[in-house]
């Protein structure tokens, strides 16, 4: 059964750990992403993981992981609502880099979940849907690790604007590392073209930020790159990268 409430209380964090993370973040603030990834792999070893939705940023990090730390456990939150193109990209990534991204699923199938709630919740209560089918799952996965990497950029949204390169993730009780915090969308796509990195073909159809199919639409010229997510609502984040208040 999906979780109604996720415990987001802040754990006690040793001041020494916070000081270590702040120092590492300051030292790596202007470092290239490869240096940040290598630092993370050396610092946390098999206690490091990466979460990816197979966006262009995630594909770029996977490209580097294959060279720098190919044994890193990488996972995707398979809500059951993803585009077929997204899941096909997982197969292309595996073929190209030898990295098999683990599909981590909720406790219920889509059919079971919708039957429990009298239909889909993604339009009537998207926060609940994200909590049950994403946040509960990542909380379960991250419980096995000390640190996780994400592909967020500071220029994507206000919730991400203050993201440190290395910091403590209060929400999930692990260290969070953002190798691409200082990068821009243009730099990401320049590298994808230069290195012929696999990417989701939906990007060529106007989908800039891609999540679950029912909650994602293409964007038009002049719109924010996350305008296609939960369009028509005030929601802009699933909760994975939202700031705690």
Please give the distance of CA 180 from its chain centroid, rounded to a whole number. Answer: 12
Residue in the structure block whose two tokens are 């979940």 = 113
What values do phi and psi take at 229, rounded to 5?
Answer: -100, 125
Helix (H) or strand (E) holding 50: strand 48-51
Q: What CA–CA distance (Å, rounded) separates 123 from 112?
A: 17
Q: Give Cβ neighbours of residue 52 (< 8 Å, ≥ 6 apart).
A: 58, 59, 61, 62, 74, 75, 76, 101, 151
Whether residue 238 lies in the annotated active site: yes
Contact criterion met (CB below 8 Å) for 75 and 101: yes
Identify the active-site residue in 59, 129, 130, 238.
238
Q: What CA–CA distance (Å, rounded) separates 52 from 32?
A: 20
C-alpha to C-alpha distances, 147 to 27, 33, 36, 172, nearest whole angstrom: 18, 16, 13, 10
Residues assigned a catalytic role: 238
């Amino acid at each position: 059964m999906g979780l109604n409430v996720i415990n987001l209380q802040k754990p006690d964090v040793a001041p020494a750990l916070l000081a270590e993370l702040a120092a590492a973040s300051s030292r790596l603030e202007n470092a290239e992403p490869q240096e940040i990834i290598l630092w993370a792999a050396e610092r946390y070893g098999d206690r490091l993981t990466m979460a990816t939705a197979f966006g262009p940023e995630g594909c770029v990090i996977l490209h580097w992981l294959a060279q720098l730390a190919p044994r890193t456990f990488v996972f995707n939150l398979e809500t059951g609502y993803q585009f077929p193109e997204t899941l096909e990209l997982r197969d292309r990534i595996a073929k190209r880099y030898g990295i098999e991204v683990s599909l981590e699923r909720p406790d219920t199938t889509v059919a079971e979940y919708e039957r429990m709630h009298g239909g889909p919740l993604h339009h009537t209560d998207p926060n609940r849907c994200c909590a049950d089918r994403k946040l509960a799952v990542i909380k379960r996965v991250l419980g096995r690790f000390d640190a996780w990497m994400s592909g967020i950029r500071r220029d994507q949204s206000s919730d991400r604007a203050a993201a440190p390169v290395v910091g403590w993730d209060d929400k999930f009780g692990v260290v969070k590392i953002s190798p691409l915090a200082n990068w821009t969308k243009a730099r990401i796509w320049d590298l994808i073209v230069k290195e012929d990195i696999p990417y989701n073909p939906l990007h060529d159809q106007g989908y800039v930020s891609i999540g679950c199919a029912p909650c994602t639409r293409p964007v038009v010229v002049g719109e924010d790159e996350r305008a296609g997510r939960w369009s028509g609502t005030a929601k802009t984040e699933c909760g994975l990268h939202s700031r705690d208040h």
